[in-house]
């Protein structure tokens, strides 16, 4: 087990470790793809699909990271900015959790940043970043 997660660009051009706050971290929240509607005859029409997982870690980053293996605030913003599926690097990322399991994901929703302290840049500036990683290949 590691005390960090790893995020990699689809083309391997950017690979960074990130420290994650343990409070609220999970091994992936399962989400069932399904719809349920009442029919005219009084029954239920239920369609079920795959089960996908998502991760919503709180990541602690520095404004400037002194260890090149770890990502900075700019690095997590770069990963978030990958939004085109037809470019290199694409919007697909490899999210490797703390036990070393890698999954193909996209970052969705908001990238929420909270400054910790008064410094906004440099190795002494720290941020908590809330991100959402959505698995793109589910299991049936």
User: How does pLDDT run across 13-55, given as a tens digit for each residue?
Assistant: 999 999 998 776 777 888 888 889 999 998 999 998 888 899 9
Residue 140 lies in a domain: no
Residue 38 lies in a domain: no
Residue 37 lies in a domain: no
The pLDDT, as a whole number, for residue 20 is 92
The structure's pTM equals: 0.84
What pairing do the DSSP bridges indicate for beta strands 4-9 and 15-20? antiparallel
What range does the domain containing 77 cover? 4-31+50-133
Residue 99 lies in a domain: yes
Residue 16 lies in a domain: yes
User: Which of 58, 65, 59 lies closest to 124, judged by CA?
Assistant: 65
Work out how many domains the chain is built from and give that number.
Answer: 1
Band the pLDDT of 111: cuts 50, 70, 90.
Answer: very high
Residue 25 lies in a domain: yes
- What tokens does 49 get? 């699909």
Rounded CA gap, 65 and 44, in Å? 54
């Amino acid at each position: 087990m590691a005390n960090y997660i790893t995020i990699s660009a689809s083309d391997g051009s950017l690979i960074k470790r990130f420290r994650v706050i343990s409070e609220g971290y999970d091994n992936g929240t399962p989400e069932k793809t399904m719809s349920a509607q009442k029919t005219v005859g009084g029954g239920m029409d239920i369609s079920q699909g795959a089960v996908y997982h998502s991760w919503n870690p709180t990541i602690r980053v520095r404004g400037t990271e002194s260890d090149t293996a770890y990502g900075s605030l700019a690095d997590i913003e770069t990963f978030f900015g990958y939004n085109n599926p037809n470019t290199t690097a694409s919007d697909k990322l490899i999210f490797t959790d703390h036990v070393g399991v890698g999954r193909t994901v996209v970052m969705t929703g908001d990238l929420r940043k909270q400054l910790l302290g008064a410094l906004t840049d440099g190795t002494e500036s720290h941020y908590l970043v809330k991100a959402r990683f959505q698995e793109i290949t589910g299991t049936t």
